[in-house]
Structure 1
């Protein structure tokens, strides 16, 4: 069932989707768009905007912050989200780049900064593990005082 909904959403325009029974909910709601990497979905921007149109008041997304995510965030507005979470795999190139590849820590931190400068509520989340426990939280918080860490 869910697979069919996802496949249909990828193939067809959102404009053809029927309205939810009873119309758009006016009740406060929240939705979290995550993945894998949600910004890689071809309809990511449409999905974010549709969530707002359907009455979701708190749309949250989590991203690894690499270049595809930065391009998608550049085409969205701060009011499209309650907040954006960027999830580096460590608090320094030494730990992050081992997971994502050389130079990706700097790329991810640029993605943290750009939406924050545009007025997005931008937060850093990091899964602490044995490889990054020495630098994950303290280094990130020190490097990104303008965002919530």
Structure 2
């Protein structure tokens, strides 16, 4: 799950055409009554798609992943197209046929906030010292003495 804009950038660089994404999404469902009238409603569902295109909107901090559904459910048939929108704080599962060294290096970089630290600081106060790393999103205390 991405927690901030920088995480979305890392995810954008991890997902490729052919990868499989599973996430909660909203699907418009149209139903027809016996009299022929139709109504539509938006339904939350869990979908698994094989990614055919990846689009990143940095302004909205969203990834738009288009692909075909590969796990049928009550709402979406197998092979139906859908676009899953990933945004910060939305859980998802990414499956790849192979995680290459570049993917693994990117994951290590994204998961180690110390890699993004802009400044290191030592904060002293009467017998107490804190070693901190300052990133754009947080301050991490690395040592206390």
Same fold by TM (over 0.5)? no
From the CA coordinates, give the structure whose radius of gyration is larger.
2
> Shorter-chain TM-score: which interval?
under 0.3
Which structure shows the higher helix fraction?
1
> TM-score under structure 2 normalisation?
0.22
> TM-score under structure 1 normalisation?
0.22
